[in-house]
Amino acid sequence: MKFNTKKKLIWYFLKGSRRYFVMSALFAALVALLDMISPRIISFTVDSVIGNKAPSVPAFVMHIISAAGGMDMLRRYPVMVAAAAAATGALAAAARYLFRMMNALGSETMVRRMRDELFSHILTLPYTWLGENSTGDIIQRCTSDVQTVKRFISENMTSLIRTLFLITMALSFMAGLNRTVMFASAVYIPVIIFYSLFFYSKIGSAFEKADEEEGILSTIAQENLTGVRVVRAFGRESYERERFEKQNEKYTGHWVWLIRLLSAFWASGDVLTGAQTLTVIVTGAFFCVRGSLTAGDYIALVSYTIMLAWPVRSLGRVISELSKAGIAIERLRYIMDSEPERDREGCIEPPMDRDIVFDHVSFGYDKTGGEVLRDVSFSVPAGSTLGILGGTGSGKSTLMYLLERLYELPEGGGSITIGGVDIRNIRASYLRTNIGMVLQEPFLFSRKLSENIGIAAGTSDLKKIRRAAKAAKIDDAIESFTAGYDTFVGERGVTLSGGQKQRTAIAQMLIRESPVMIFDDSLSAVDAETDLQIRRALRERTGCATVILIAHRITTLMKADNIIVLDKGRIIQQGTHEKLLSEDGMYRKIYDLQSAGAEAEA
């Protein structure tokens, strides 16, 4: 769903909360009406109860007064007027409570929907999009920008109806008392709106820049918190602290400038509000001296002017806050309008225990960076094991990312088929469910070890979890922990060693029993003996599954049915371990180097 305008996106986010905001607006209007009544009660009391002026109140009010005993009764018992004022205040308090409650329900319901929709949409976005946008900036948009929109809707838009209603009624009531004084007060309203519009664009651009700098600051903090061990291992604390402080100073500078603009905005408002009140006081006093305005009406006019001061300024604030909210919703619209990953029309779910064929595959991550893979062709018969060897940047992992459709093959970039079906015609969720993959740097969640292993298969069956852990040779290590399988894993698996994380990830993949299993250099952090034990267990565990092993150790690959050697995105050698050893090529050179190193260590 595309949101071509900010208004359309806001309306979409308001689904489920609109009724609360409608109720909130109605109660806000009621509050405004009840607030208008209090000055009229004071005016009536001063002029008609304490004084002798004929009451100028609506006919239904006079009917109630007459039924209660008339003006003489009110003069004998002025407490009745006080009771009416108290009742009006109590009703206003109840309406104000309901206004705030409905407003809170509406805003929190809206925020919940915003967060749910943003998170759900982000999960559908292509792998390339997530790589192009920093985590810190995404988090910034989904937290700070969401709160900015929430504040605008709940604190400004819902009260806008109350403000407009209050201004309209106040001016109407004032006109009924003295039109000249009313005009003296009303003349300041367009002035306040004008200066608010003046600050509108300046505040908006300053807020946008501050928001962007906060996203950069969040990214630096997030990277350093997740990579704190690396920072400390290389003694880069001072460098990272200076980098953070420099960005923080830049961010603070933008906010200081924004605060200066806001201070100027509010200071200007204070001057204009004071001038408005002073004008009404002087003008009203002039008419009182001339005898064309009673004391009660004068008090009511001043009361209405004071009551107008904050709503009129709020109207200006709505205009100024609109700039910040507009920037925030535009940043959210960028996420919601980003094209999600989609399957082709008519995608199918074919059997996955079939031959895998890479046919003249060429691929580059961007148009200017050149090709990572160049005309790569090979096949993996169903149930066989393929080994992939190559240097850093040779394209080993890229092959697997393409197989899982984390990156899409461009038109003219060759094809990848499983059982003769192009993977672009296979439903992505089905494809990834049936291809298990263990990365060199696995990601573990902040949960128990048992939950981390079982999460891939959606199971909490400890027997299945332990069976997979034993195959991955991590069961003994887990049992040695005080809490065993209930051991809590820190963020990204920080409480485990590199080898333990890799073996946990292997168990996580094995429990799924996928027909295709990929090990992307996932044994690099374990010792040679454990590597051997895991490979033996894998041969027993994987059964008829198709296995793809990516590794730098030839000992990990030597039992594979076929081995390909990549260099600069091309296949330069292919065959069994014995065949490749008989050739004078890269494979043999790497084997000799690793064998010499092993003998030297022995």
DSSP 488: B
Q: What is the pLDDT of residue 494?
A: 64
Instruction: Return mean pLDDT, the chain.
Output: 82
Options 3.20.20.140, 3.40.50.10190, 3.90.1150.10, 1.20.1560.10; CATH of 6-336: 1.20.1560.10
| 351-434+516-531+543-602 and 441-513, same CATH topology | yes
Q: Is 388's pLDDT higher than 90?
A: yes
Q: Where are the domains of the chain?
A: 6-336, 351-434+516-531+543-602, 441-513
C-alpha 228/C-alpha 77 separation (Å) is 76
Is the pLDDT at 512 greater than 70, yes or no? yes
Q: Provide the pLDDT for residue 524.
A: 65
Banded model confidence at residue 542, pLDDT cuts 50, 70, 90:
low
- Which range is least confidently modeled, 171-180, 239-248, 323-332? 171-180
Choose the weakest-confidence range: 97-101, 119-123, 553-557: 553-557
pLDDT tens digits, one per residue of 167-220: 787 788 778 778 888 888 888 778 877 777 677 667 767 777 787 788 788 878
Percentage of residues in the chain having pLDDT higher than 90: 18
Percentage above 70 pLDDT, the chain: 88
Q: How confident is the model at residue 318 (pLDDT cuts 50, 70, 90)?
A: confident
CA 305/CA 27 separation, integer angstroms? 22
Task: Please give the pLDDT value at position 525.
Answer: 58
Give me the DSSP letters along 238-307: HHHHHHHHHHHHHHHHHHHHHHHHHHHHHHHHHHHHHHHHHHHHHHHHHHHHHTSS-HHHHHHHHHHHHH
Fold for 351-434+516-531+543-602, please state it.
Rossmann fold (3.40.50)
Q: Compute the distance between CA of residue 281 and CA of residue 275 in angstroms, rounded to an integer.
A: 10
Query: Can you state the percent helix, strand and coil of the chain, rounding each to 5?
Result: 65, 10, 25
pLDDT band per the 50, 70, 90 thresholds, residue 319: low
- Answering whether pTM is above 0.75, one says no
Are the C-beta atoms of residues 38 and 88 closer than 8 Å to each other? yes
566: pLDDT strictly greater than 90: yes
Question: 562: Cβ–Cβ under 8 A, 6 or more apart, which residues?
Answer: 378, 380, 384, 385, 386, 387, 574, 575, 576
Q: Is the pLDDT of residue 225 over 80?
A: no
Max intra-chain CA distance, the chain: 121
pLDDT at 254 > cutoff 60: yes
Whether 224 shows a pLDDT value over 60: the answer reads yes
Amino acid making up residue 325: A
Which CATH number does the domain 441-513 belong to among 3.40.50.300, 3.90.340.10, 3.40.190.80, 3.10.20.90?
3.40.50.300
- Higher pLDDT, residue 255 or 44: 255
Q: Does position 56 have pLDDT exceeding 70, yes or no?
A: no
